[in-house]
Amino acid sequence: MNSTYIDMQDARDSPAPLASSYVWRENDQKYEELPFLEVKEISGAGGIISNVLDYAQWLKCLIHETKPFSKAVHKDFRTPRFIQSAQPDLGTDVSLYGLGWLRTTIHGQVVYWHSGSTFTFAALVYWLPDVKFGIVALANGAGTLNEAELVLVRRLLEDKLRISLHDRLDPKLPPDLSADLETSRQKERARDMQRDIERADDILFPDRPKHPSPPSIKPDQLTGAYFSQGYGPINLFEEPLSANSDETILVANRTELTWAQQWRLHHVSGDSWTLHGKMLLGINAFTQFHAAEFKIGVDGKVAGLEISMYDRSGGVNESTVLF
């Protein structure tokens, strides 16, 4: 593996050229080149800079159980630790999770797989130990590239297993539309997420009054620096909701994060606000929303900002954080 790195500068100094990443900007009807991300701090979860030829060597090691690992270590790699999803989905069976690999079955064959992205690049890896077959897909763009890779990977996998057209993902569809079904389901999930974002106030505050009460403190007195030991600093400033609006929102640009993002707080009622999280790199879209509440001290001044961090995609209540 001569073209694999963890450090971005090492990759830049290598003789091999680095692929550029792009995102499609619908408003401008053109692709925009994205900057390289330094992701060394998340290398425990990924962050590898490589190519498909190098990564295929890693898959050969896993599939054939070769050095530098012993047979016992390879067995440990393949041993599931918990149930990742109890519901079959998109042609796969129940999904288990072990040491960095998801395990399921497709057409009766055991499959280990994982996907990942940095909002600028995406990777999807499948390997089938019983038939000694693996696939590596890497893509250079932001957005739904994992879904695009999945269409290609599933086609190659079903070709390898010689699955008849009738028995592929959806036998009711013509062969050339089978892949379209896979992407349509992914798009449906994206539409559901977008619909929830638009209904954020209803989801977070279903019992809010019909006529909102004003905040205890004027928005311009809520601006300034806040800090959480675990989540770091934020600096709130006022901004008009839009060019033609008198409504004010509170904004924090969190560009110090690996995944740079913007927090936008919209007033709901009283001291309750809805926080919308928007990625600033790559997809440049709202991807999350949380309930927020400004805490007022006995002196009548703002004492903190409390945010209920809930991961809606995974259904996990992370914590309630006080800044």
**pLDDT (tens digit per residue) in 43-81:** 777 778 899 999 999 999 999 999 999 999 999 999 999
CATH code for position 253:
2.40.128.600
Tokens 């050095």 locate to 67
Structural domain tally of the chain? 2
User: In this structure, are residues 152 and 160 in contact, taking their beta carbons and an 8 Å threshold?
Assistant: no
**Residues 165 and 214 placed together within one structural domain of the fold:** no
**Residues 62 and 38 placed together within one structural domain of the fold:** yes
**Residues 137 and 283 placed together within one structural domain of the fold:** no
End-to-end alpha carbon distance in the chain: 45
**Residues 142 and 16 placed together within one structural domain of the fold:** yes
Buried b (16+ CB within 10 A) or exposed e, 254-271: beeeebbbbbbbbbbbbb
**Residues 13 and 154 placed together within one structural domain of the fold:** yes
DSSP 92-157: B--EEE-SS-EEEEETTEEEEEEEEE-SS-EEEEEEETTTTEEEEEEE-BSSSHHHHHHHHHHHHH
Residue that finishes a domain, picked among 163, 197, 231: 197
Cα gap 226→188, rounded to integer Å: 37
- The token pair that represents 133 in the structure block: 């077959």
- Nearest residue to 21 (alpha-carbon basis) of 137, 120, 143: 120
**Residues 82 and 176 placed together within one structural domain of the fold:** yes
Q: What is the pLDDT of residues 202-220, one digit of tens each?
A: 999 999 999 999 999 999 9
**Residues 280 and 255 placed together within one structural domain of the fold:** yes
- pTM value? 0.73
CATH code for position 21:
3.40.710.10
Q: What is the pLDDT of residues 262-301, one digit of tens each?
A: 999 999 999 999 999 988 776 667 778 999 999 999 999 9
Cα gap 184→17, rounded to integer Å: 34
The whole domain housing 252 covers: 209-322
Q: What is the pLDDT of residues 5-27, one digit of tens each?
A: 888 888 889 998 889 888 877 77
Local structure of residue 144 (DSSP, 8 states):
S
User: In this structure, are residues 145 and 26 in contact, taking their beta carbons and an 8 Å threshold?
Assistant: no
- The token pair that represents 2 in the structure block: 């001569």
In angstroms and rounded to an integer, the radius of gyration of the C-alpha atoms of the chain is 23
Q: What is the pLDDT of residue 23?
A: 80
